[in-house]
Structure 1
């Protein structure tokens, strides 16, 4: 039996991705036992982020400065632009440190079932960025789902009139993957994208 405040905290934590009710209760108990160190630091960090968090007006990234650290970095290749669905995708790609250009966050993907139309995404801002010039390549890094591929195809059609090279992330077999564990869609894509050895 816990107080209403502790139950409320556990319920709030349970809404986070990867945490269910039991994991959230364990996290709350861990924080309560370390309230002078961990709980106080967590509250201070959450309060600081909540007060300073902004969306980058250039790319749509979430940071504590506008423009974000990526857009403000003069070492980034301004001629390459990687289009992603969400901020989590941007962070995943940038964490790999393989893409040295800049990003554009769409804010989702086209979905007829969910009622997400091109106007609901930042496709217009993307076209404006390309139209201003200075971009040689647009990398479409949408997810390998039906909606992600539909979104990539739509954007590629809209960019056809611009003098930019349009590329897309490769899809297929993961490194270390075993064929008998892969779904038919992944196998089909890997076969279609096969290349000479």
Structure 2
């Protein structure tokens, strides 16, 4: 039996996390072991609490510890707007910006013929149900600018045609972006979405 079997197993598990490879995982585990009392033990305890309590919001698909998340229960956010995102990471990114003050709907992915993901595999039916139930006046499609993301946006737009106002996020040159570093698609989208000064 190896004296480092458990440590090696922890490194292997950490290496599977997004953004960590084997070397980064090894450094992180070594750091945690050195700071066992201050970081490793509290981290292990917090991870167990999250494992025991984390769940998807029954209404929007966000992740939290209650059946309905804080955003969905906040009466101030019931302003008639729903921002549709692909996954929870996108919702969290939108919240970091603090610009959107409405509610969200997490689809759980995008339509994909190659991966055999259809509308019934996503949370599209729940979105359609929410439109009437929550008196939604505007649906903001904040899906990624990929082929699957745009296909999903078009499908949702077809389903909601003449029911609500549909908008999407602007696409184009980011603040601080330099034209020389942008791809052709981004430049084309920015040119098509130009506005008068």
The Cα of 1:112 is off from its aligned counterpart by: 1.1
Partner of residue 110, structure 1: 111
- After the TM superposition, which of the residue ranges 150-159 and 70-79 deviates more from structure 2? 70-79
Partner of residue 26, structure 1: 27
Deviation readout 1:114-166 (Å, 9 max, x if unpaired): 1111111010000011132511100000011111111111100100141x110
The Cα of 1:76 is off from its aligned counterpart by: 1.0
- Structure 1 distance, partners of 2:140, 2:92, is 15
- Structure 1 distance, partners of 2:78, 2:148, is 29
Partner of residue 169, structure 1: 169
- Unpaired segments ≥5 residues, structure 2: none
Mapping 1:1-197, distance limit 5 Å: 3-162=4-163, 164-197=164-197
Q: How many residues are aligned here?
A: 196
Q: CA RMSD in A?
A: 1.2
- Structure 1 distance, partners of 2:115, 2:71, is 31
* TM-score (norm: length of structure 2): 0.96
* Cα separation, partners in 2 of 1:190 and 1:2, compared to 1, 3 Å: farther
* TM-score (norm: length of structure 1): 0.96
